[in-house]
Structure 1
């Protein structure tokens, strides 16, 4: 109800005689409104039920008492609000069901793309279920002291090699210093056609089967936590790109065993310097290079003496000056 409508209603309540046809012009003059505007406001009062015909006098109207008229309007508005509330509740229920359905759809789709296996045993059991027919690539960081219990011919990789599945292993350089690996496992597999390359460090354990599934640890620094299997094409492709980048820069494990020297340092030393410059701790460096803390400190001491550095920061600066790190 507008202010003009309410003003007309108030005047008619106070002076009902203005409703007589003979006094219409007086009403307009009193309200200081044009006749067209007053006619419109009277029509609105009739729509609101505040201006009603007299039951005992033909063609005459009177303003309904506000205690009745306004209460009736309030009741009508309450019904409208109740209807809107019911409609809103219905819309909320509909929206909630829509969200629930969509969430379920996403969960089902995600479940198809990702498998999570907590604990080393469950992860190992899932690995045995893979039956690749084309390729099996493995990025295998080495943890100091972690030697296989079984013989090479008892490895689950043996059937893959016998079927002619393209098999690639990326391992840490330090891993090939142990006879059990170089003269045992990896040499045995290479005899069956597996390709083995070494690199100073590896970021995580990664397995890729047929270019369709990528397996990596829940925690890249602790394989005992479990594994995640990704089937999403995007994730698998990223895993392949990372593997191939390391593969291209790696050395043949059974080629010349003399460490390459790049700009005055071996690949392992260069990787160690890069990690130090990035702010890695000795523990992090040891884990990345798959060596002991003692080995890290020995290499740091050797390089520091070589360049005349008195600390890790100065070693990084002098190594950068010599072009040993980018």
Structure 2
């Protein structure tokens, strides 16, 4: 029970015996004590010395040189307090070691970031991402993929992109189709187009992304959580991949904000819905990718199912493929 503090089971048994028969602690009765324990005198003396060091034995007041066992309410409480103190010291040491370990890991991670991936910046919060974005000053181009829910009408004097456009920077914006239903969206688009901003509509936007001068690309660390921060890539491979992806979206984007599909023709959102459906996406995932509500997704599914005579999602996917609506 208290082995870590020097009180073995053998010492505890000896202490219990002395509490029951205090006279056995007297020097004159040492032979009786050895007989009671069945041990040689040398080993018994060793155990008695252990009890003395723990403060379990005390000299009698009569100057006889004999000893007596102290009350367990005193001895065991003192032993428990000593153990508690040791635990407290150990806890402090562990906390100190943990702090040093964290600092060591942090230093190593910084070393890895600086030496192994110098072309990558990790901004681990939305505030840091905002501050970093303000330090970009493009001189040739700025291309953005704008996620649903991020448009808002802003006064001209506070519109940072307008100042960039006025410097002659080519500004392109790809906006999710679902944005058009939000109040103020068309006014925001008009503001983007006022100087030289070019805006096109696509059925869905996979994540927020901005390409600066074809040399740096910034995107969210977590496509579904803006507060998680952002990552900025400067490496040629990643930037080239982002540029080619953007140009693909741009070529096939819709330049009209008023066009409605003809009878029997799929809208862009419906095509994207079917594409996500055959990929196995859930309704929640489809709604997030399209920037629409769950109700809109279910209404879209019901409409398309009725159009092709499908009784379920799997059958809808099969029939859509048969009609050539999805690859």
TM class by smaller structure: 0.5 to 0.7
User: Does structure 2 retain, via aligned residues, the 8 Å contact 1:261–1:267?
Assistant: no
Larger radius of gyration: 1
CA distance in 2, matches of 1:193, 1:176: 20
| Alignment counterpart, residue 118 of structure 1, candidates 107, 115, 124 | 124
User: Does structure 2 retain, via aligned residues, the 8 Å contact 1:197–1:251?
Assistant: yes
Residue 204 in structure 1 maps to residue 210 in structure 2: no
Instruction: Give the TM-score normalised by structure 2.
Output: 0.63
1:153 positional shift: 4.0
Structure-1 residue corresponding to 2:250: 247
Structure-2 residue corresponding to 1:299: 300
The one-character-per-residue Cα deviations of 1:249-288 (angstroms, maximum 9, x if unpaired) are 1011xx3612346973111101101100110000110111
**Structure 1 residues 116 and 105, CA, compared in 2 at 3 Å: closer, same or farther?**
closer
| Alignment counterpart, residue 160 of structure 1, candidates 164, 167, 189 | 164
Aligned length: 220
User: Does structure 2 retain, via aligned residues, the 8 Å contact 1:212–1:236?
Assistant: yes
CA RMSD of aligned residues (A): 2.2
Structure-1 residue corresponding to 2:3: none
CA distance in 1, matches of 2:257, 2:144: 22
CA distance in 2, matches of 1:318, 1:221: 31
User: Does structure 1 retain, via aligned residues, the 8 Å contact 2:154–2:188?
Assistant: no
Q: Secondary structure at the match of 1:251?
A: coil
User: Does structure 2 retain, via aligned residues, the 8 Å contact 1:128–1:156?
Assistant: no
CA distance in 2, matches of 1:263, 1:180: 31
CA distance in 2, matches of 1:195, 1:291: 24
For 1:1-326, what aligned pairs fall within 5 Å after superposition? 107-110=113-116, 112-143=118-149, 146-148=150-152, 150-182=154-186, 184-252=187-255, 255=256, 257-260=258-261, 264-326=265-327
Gaps of 5+ in 2: 1-108
CA distance in 2, matches of 1:304, 1:318: 9
The one-character-per-residue Cα deviations of 1:99-136 (angstroms, maximum 9, x if unpaired) are xxxx9986424453111111211111110110000000
CA distance in 1, matches of 2:113, 2:224: 28
1:292 positional shift: 0.9
User: Does structure 2 retain, via aligned residues, the 8 Å contact 1:259–1:267?
Assistant: no
**Structure 1 residues 152 and 174, CA, compared in 2 at 3 Å: closer, same or farther?**
farther
CA distance in 2, matches of 1:224, 1:213: 21
CA distance in 2, matches of 1:104, 1:264: 54
CA distance in 2, matches of 1:120, 1:105: 24
CA distance in 2, matches of 1:172, 1:320: 24
Structure-1 residue corresponding to 2:31: none
The one-character-per-residue Cα deviations of 1:77-117 (angstroms, maximum 9, x if unpaired) are xxxxxxxxxxxxxxxxxxxxxxxxxx998642445311111
CA distance in 2, matches of 1:321, 1:114: 44
